[in-house]
Amino acid sequence: MKIAINKPKWIVGAAIGGFFFLASCQTHYEVTAVEAYRMPMDSVWDTIPDEAVRTLLSPYKVRVDSVMNEVKGEAAVSMDRFRPESPLSNLIADVLRLAAKDVTGHPADMGLVNIGGIRNALTQGNITTENIYEILPFENSLCVLTLKGVHLRALLENIAARGGEGVSGVKMTIDSQRRVLDARIGGQPISPDRLYTIATIDYLAEGNDGMTALKQARDRICPEGATLRGLFVKYVEQQTAAGKKITAKIEGRICLAE
């Protein structure tokens, strides 16, 4: 974008008795023209690198690459994210639900992650640190909330209204109008007065992305430093140490009524 601006105007006084007096100062800017255009940032720029910049960044690139290219584990299958249910969102919601054990001593009743926060697919093969950053680029952190059953039901309605999100520990059926027809937690119907724990991220805990029911939480624990990305890395490393590949599938957690 180019913006043309006229020059400021100055009106000054005179030197009197060895002192300089500014009688008047008027600075006035006025936009006279605006010109905008798009500049595609693609592979074309790779053919005309700035050698000075490349030399400057080279030592830092080596260090960053050594970290980002580190292999953390292996994906048994390719996994993507989509609504109403997907393998990758199931996996990440599972990671959140299991991570609650370090906070409460047991996995949460439900795990929840927003599809919009998952920014890339996980492809079959080696899982590097760079892959994980591409999938989870935000600094979202774990929050474990306690909700009464009546508010949990409202949360599932929030999820249905969005057409589905990443959930764990839940099985629900929604209709074409995005209404909840049936919902169960841990295989059991939801009791209105029972307290349930939900492991999610701080962004959703604030009621964002339509998850307004989470603002009704009676208790909220958000351990310091427990980023979702870090929890995912830890999960991959633990599975790898146990000789397991990372995998997930669609299990009917969110079903659309016929």
pLDDT in tens, 17-39: 555 545 555 566 788 888 888 88
User: pTM for this structure?
Assistant: 0.81
Could you tell me the residue ranges of all domains in the chain? 68-256
- CATH number for the region 68-256 comes to 3.90.780.10
Helix/strand/coil (H/E/C) assignment for every residue in the chain: CEEEECCCCCECCCEECCEECCCECCCCCCEEEEECCCCCCCHHHHHCCCHHHHHHHHHHHHHHHHHHCCEEEEECCCECCCCCCCHHHHHHHHHHHHHCHHHHCCCCCEEEECHHHCCCCECCEEEEHHHHHHHCCCCCEEEEEEEEHHHHHHHHHHHHHCCCCEEECEEEEECCCCCEEEEEECCEECCCCCEEEEEEEHHHHCCCCCCHHHHHCCEEECCCCCEHHHHHHHHHHHHHHCCCCECCCCCCCEEECC
| pLDDT score recorded for residue 62 | 87
From first to last of its 258 residues, the chain has per-residue pLDDT tens of: 555 656 555 544 545 555 554 555 556 678 888 888 888 888 887 888 888 988 998 889 888 988 899 999 999 999 999 999 999 999 999 999 999 999 999 999 999 999 999 999 999 999 999 999 999 999 999 999 999 999 999 999 999 999 999 999 999 999 999 999 999 999 999 999 999 999 999 999 999 999 999 999 999 999 999 999 999 999 999 999 999 999 999 999 999 998
pLDDT in tens, 82-131: 999 999 999 999 999 999 999 999 999 999 999 999 999 999 999 999 99
